[in-house]
C-alpha cells in the first residue's frame, strides 16, 4: 500500500528540525525509514509532516570524547559495522548491529532510529541499556541527557517529547570487557524472539562487573539485575555462569505471541544468558 | 508536490512528486524502469532492491524524495547491452524459475560482491538474507553468485 499523504521537510540543522516538529503536533522524524515506512505503508500511522534528518550533518558519524564514544543518531547500521572506534570501544554494539535485519536494511536504518522506535524486539535498546549509555536529546527548551534506563518507557514509547530529537548517544568505554549478543530467531533477517546482551569485566580472573540486558522479554528492555549480582564476585567459572543464568527471567514479563509463549521465552532467556555469559567471561 | 532530481541508470531527471511516493513507484511510473518489481507490503522480500549511491536498498522502504540528489542503479542499468557477469551467471546456472525475485537478487548479489569479492557459500546465503525466493530453493542462486564472483575477480 501507499502511505497517506503528508508534507515533507528536510532541514539542515537541529534547530530547524525542532522548529519543524514544533510547528505540527502530528509531525514525525524520518531517519532511515526502515521502521517508519513499513508502518506508513500498512497505514498504522498517518503523520501529517515528515521531518527528514538526512541533511543534518551534525547527527552523522562517530567520535571519541574523553572516555565516551559518541554515536550520532543518524549513523547507519552499516557505518557502525565499519567503524574502527566502535569495534574498539563498544564491540557489543557492532556485534548486535550485525544481527539487525539484512544488508539493505542496514544501509538505511540508523542507530538513533532503532533506539527512538523502541520496539521491544529491536536489538539495540537492550544493548544501550547493558552499556549504561546516555541519550542526548534536543527540543525547544534545549538539550538534555536521558540515561538508557529511563529512555525506554513502554512498547514503542520513549522519554522523548514529540518535539524532541535524539541527537547522539554517549557510550562509556568497554574496551577490554568480554561481550556477547546472543540472538534467537528462526529465520535469517528476522527479529529476536529473545536476545541477550552481555558484558563482563574480569580483573585477575575474578568477575568485577556484569551487565546483562534482555531483548523482547517485556514491553521494554529488561536489565537482568539478579544475574548481574549472582555472577559478580565469582571466579567466572562454568558453574557460576550456569547458576547466574538461572536468574535471567526474574522480574521479567515476557509477551506471548505467534513466535512463542511467555514460559518458552523465559526458558530461552535462561539458556541464551548462559550462552552469552559463557562467551563474555572468556575462556 | 516536491521537486527532486534523481539520476536513474545514468540519466538525470527533475520531477515533481508527492512526498508519499515510494522510490519504487517513482522508478516504475515516472521513470519507466519496470524491471524493478514490488513483491510485498512489509519490506521483507527484497524483490525491489536497487542500488542508491552504490549501496543496495529496498526501493519500497525509501521515499522518492529521500533519493533526491542521489544516483540510483536498477537491474536495467547494470550494464550497457551485454549482460553483467551476475546476470549472465543467473542465466547460465538457471538461478530462477518465475523470475519475480531475480532483479532484487541480482542487485543484492552485486552489492554483496562489492564488499566480499570471494564469498563462501555460507557468506552468499547470509549476504542474500534480505531476498526471498519462493521457487528455486536458492541452490542455483548461490551457485550463480559464486560463479559471478570468480568471473569478476578474474576480470579485475
Ligand atoms: C525487513 C526488516 C528487518 C528488520 N530486522 C530488524 C532486526 O532484526 N533487529 C532490529 O533491531 N531492527 C530490525 N529492523 C528495523 C531496523 O533496525 C530499523 O533501522 C530501525 O528500527 C529504525 O531505524 P530507522 O533509522 O530506519 O528509523 P525510522 O524508521 O526512520 O524511524 C523509526 C521511528 O523512530 C523515530 N525517530 C527516528 N530517528 C529519530 C531521532 N533521531 N529522534 C527522534 N525520533 C526519531 C521516527 O519518528 C519513527 O517513529 C528491521 C527492519 C526491516 C524493514
Ligand atoms: S517489495 Fe518486498 S521488500 Fe520491497
Ligand atoms: S524465481 Fe520465483 S521467486 Fe525466485
**Of residues B19, B55, B125, nearest to A8 (C-beta):** B19
Q: What is the mean pLDDT of chain A?
A: 97
pTM of the entire predicted model: 0.97
State the pLDDT at residue B156. Answer: 60
Per-residue pLDDT tens digits for A235-251: 999 999 999 999 999 99
Can you name the CATH fold of B2-76?
Answer: Ubiquitin-like (UB roll) (3.10.20)
Q: What is the pLDDT of residues A116-130, one digit of tens each?
A: 999 999 999 999 999
Band of the pLDDT at A189, cuts 50, 70, 90? confident
Residue A266 has pLDDT above 90, yes or no: yes
pLDDT at A2 (0 to 100): 87
Residue A244 has a CB neighbour count (10 Å cut-off) of: 26
Question: What is the pLDDT averaged over residues A204-222?
Answer: 97
Q: Where are the beta strands (DSSP E) in A6-110?
A: 7-9, 27-30, 49-52, 62-65, 68-72
Distance between CA atoms of residues A118 and A99, nearest Å: 17
Is A45 in the B-facing interface, judged by CB distances under 8 Å? no
pLDDT in tens, A22-31: 999 999 999 9
What pLDDT does residue A137 have?
A: 98
Domains of chain A by start residue, with CATH: 7-52 (3.30.43.10), 60-171 (3.30.465.10), 179-282 (3.30.390.50)
The CATH class of B85-153 is mainly alpha
Kindly give, in sequence order, each residue whose CB lies less than 8 Å from that of residue A5, ignoring residues fewer than 6 positions away: B18, B19, B20
Q: Provide the β-strand partners of residue B11.
A: B8
Q: How would you class B112 by CB atoms within 10 Å of its CB: exposed for 0-12, middle for 13-18, buried for 19 or more?
A: buried
> How far is it, in rounded angstroms, from Cα A46 to Cα B88?
43
The residues in B 119-138 lying below 8 A from A, measured between CB atoms, are 125-127, 129-131
Q: Which residues of chain B have pLDDT under 70?
A: 156
Q: Give pLDDT, residue A283.
A: 52
Ordered by start, the domain boundaries in chain B are 2-76, 85-153
Complex prediction ipTM = 0.97
A134-160 pLDDT, tens digit per residue, is: 999 999 999 999 999 999 999 999 999
Instruction: Count CA within 13 A, CB hemisphere, residue A103.
Output: 28
* A213/A56 Cα distance (integer angstroms): 31
Strands (E) located in A21-154: 27-30, 49-52, 62-65, 68-72, 134-139, 142-147, 152-154
Contact A41 B22 (CB under 8 A): yes
For Cα atoms A137, A211, A110, give the angle at the middle one, nearest 5 degrees.
40
The rounded distance, in Å, linking the Cα atoms of A173 and B81 is 52
The answer, for B46 touching chain A at a CB cutoff of 8 Å, is yes
pLDDT digits (tens, 9 = 90+) for A5-15: 999 999 999 99
pLDDT score for A190: 86
CB contacts, 8 Å: A37 with chain B: 22, 43, 60-63
Contacts of A188 in chain B (CB under 8 A): 125-126, 129
Has residue A21 got a pLDDT over 80? yes
Nearest to A2 among B22, B112, B127 (CB): B22
CA distance B89 to chain A (A): 22
Amino acid at each position: 500500500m501507499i502511505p497517506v499523504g503528508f508534507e515533507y521537510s528536510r532541514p539542515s540543522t537541529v534547530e530547524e528540525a525542532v522548529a519543524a516538529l514544533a510547528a505540527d503536533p502530528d509531525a514525525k522524524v524520518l531517519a532511515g525509514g526502515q521502521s517508519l515506512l513499513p508502518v506508513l505503508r500498512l497505514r498504522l500511522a498517518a503523520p501529517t509532516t515528515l521531518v527528514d534528518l538526512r541533511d543534518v550533518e551534525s547527527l552523522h558519524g562517530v567520535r571519541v570524547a574523553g572516555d565516551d564514544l559518541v554515536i550520532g543518531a543518524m549513523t547507519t547500521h552499516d557505518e557502525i559495522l565499519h567503524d574502527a572506534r566502535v569495534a574498539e570501544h563498544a564491540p557489543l554494539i557492532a556485534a548486535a548491529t550485525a544481527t539487525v535485519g539484512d544488508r539493505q536494511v542496514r544501509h538505511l536504518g540508523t542507530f538513533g532510529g532503532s533506539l527512538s522506535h523502541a520496539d521491544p524486539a529491536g536489538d539495540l535498546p537492550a544493548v544501550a541499556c547493558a552499556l549504561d549509555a546516555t541519550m542526548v536529546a534536543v527540543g525547544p527548551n534545549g538539550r538534555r541527557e536521558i540515561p538508557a534506563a529511563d529512555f525506554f518507557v513502554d512498547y514503542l514509547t520513549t522519554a522523548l517529547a514529540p518535539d524532541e530529537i535524539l541527537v547522539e548517544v554517549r557510550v562509556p568505554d568497554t574496551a577490554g570487557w568480554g561481550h556477547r549478543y546472543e540472538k534467537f530467531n528462526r529465520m535469517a533477517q528476522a527479529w529476536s524472539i529473545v536476545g541477550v546482551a552481555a558484558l563482563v569485566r574480569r580483573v585477575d580472573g575474578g568477575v568485577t562487573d556484569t551487565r546483562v540486558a534482555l531483548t523482547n522479554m517485556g514491553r521494554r528492555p529488561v536489565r537482568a539485575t539478579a544475574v548481574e549480582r549472582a555472577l559478580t564476585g565469582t571466579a567466572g567459572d562454568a558453574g557460576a555462569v550456569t547458576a547466574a543464568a538461572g536468574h535471567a527471567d526474574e522480574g521479567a514479563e515476557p509477551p506471548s505471541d505467534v513466535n512463542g509463549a511467555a514460559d518458552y521465552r523465559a526458558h530461552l532467556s535462561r539458556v541464551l544468558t548462559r550462552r552469552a555469559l559463557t562467551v563474555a567471561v572468556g575462556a | 508536490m516536491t521537486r527532486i532530481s534523481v539520476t536513474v541508470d545514468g540519466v538525470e531527471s527533475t520531477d515533481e512528486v508527492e512526498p508519499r511516493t515510494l522510490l519504487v513507484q517513482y522508478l516504475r511510473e515516472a521513470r519507466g524502469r519496470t524491471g524493478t518489481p514490488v513483491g510485498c507490503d512489509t519490506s521483507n522480500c527484497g524483490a525491489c532492491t536497487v542500488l542508491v549511491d552504490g549501496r543496495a536498498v529496498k526501493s519500497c522502504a525509501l521515499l522518492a524524495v529521500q533519493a533526491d540528489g542521489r544516483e540510483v542503479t536498477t537491474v536495467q542499468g547494470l550494464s550497457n547491452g551485454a549482460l553483467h557477469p551476475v546476470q549472465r551467471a543467473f542465466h547460465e546456472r538457471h538461478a530462477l524459475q518465475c523470475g519475480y525475485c531475480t532483479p532484487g537478487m541480482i542487485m543484492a548479489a552485486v552489492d554483496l560482491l562489492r564488499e566480499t569479492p570471494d564469498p563462501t557459500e555460507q557468506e552468499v546465503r547470509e549476504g542474500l538474507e534480505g531476498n526471498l525466493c519462493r521457487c528455486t530453493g536458492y541452490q542455483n542462486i548461490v551457485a550463480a553468485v559464486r560463479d559471478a564472483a570468480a568471473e569478476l575477480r578474474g576480470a579485475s
